[in-house]
Structure 1
Amino acid sequence: MAKVIFITQANEREEVEGDSGSLMELAVQNGIYGIDGDCGGVCSCATCHVYMEADDYAKLGAPEEVESDMLELDDNVTEYSRLCCQIPVSDEIDGMTFTVAPK
């Protein structure tokens, strides 16, 4: 079971937990403000853009090419940007914090 923290666009701290699916699915299921997941998790909309803390980003690694290409279309991308539809819910993300990117 992974417990993660989302910092929403309204600067609210939301702790959620799950054991399967993607981080985007977990966010949508828990009503995390600012995570829309319009494409359903197929990496084609960037409505699940989040920022990671530097140490956590290093643990998960850089996005693959299709995710990087989608992030390039977002004006708010940083060096720690990820699309949470591409992050599986697993013990690896337990305790991590994800900040919802502005739209």
Structure 2
Amino acid sequence: MITIHFIAADGSEQTVPGKPGQSLMQAAEKARHPGIAADCGGSLTCATCHVKVAPEWASRLPEASNDEMAMLEFTASPREATSRLSCQIELTAELDGLVVHLPTAQY
């Protein structure tokens, strides 16, 4: 089991379990996390699963693809240096304890 810490814009934290091979978005959806809308279901055609990866974790992730980088231009909240789409982050054992911050809005 992988533990993920979601920190909302108001500072509240929710810890969510995930499984290796699952996307961060899928783990959030399974836990019914309200901060991830995931309108496209992970098909990389929206930006409603936007997260800001904590800086200490950002370097542990593979680089974002060109398609993900392009879709990040459409986030409702301002994009930051560590912004990613949670549908594109595959959970691995190395990501146990991952911390992500949620934007103020997904729409």
Is TM (by shorter chain) over 0.5? Answer: yes
List structure 1 segments (4+ residues) > 6 angstroms apart after TM superposition: none
Letter in 2 for 1:48: C
Query: Cα distance, 1:10 vs. partner?
Result: 4.3
Q: Name which of structure 1's ranges 2-11 and 25-34 shifts more when overlaid on structure 2.
A: 2-11
Structure 1 residue runs of 5 or longer lacking an equivalent are: none
Seq. identity, %:
34
Letter in 2 for 1:76: P
Q: CA RMSD, aligned part only? A: 1.4
Aligned to 2:55: 54
Q: TM-score, normalised by structure 2?
A: 0.87
2:12 is equivalent to residue 12 of structure 1: yes
Give the secondary-structure state (helix, strand or coil) at the position aligned to 1:72. Answer: helix
Q: Name which of structure 1's ranges 78-87 and 54-63 shifts more when overlaid on structure 2.
A: 54-63
Structure 2 residue runs of 5 or longer lacking an equivalent are: none
5 Å matches for 1:1-103? 1-19=1-19, 20-74=21-75, 75-103=77-105
Query: Cα distance, 1:96 vs. partner?
Result: 1.2
Give the secondary-structure state (helix, strand or coil) at the position aligned to 1:70. Answer: helix
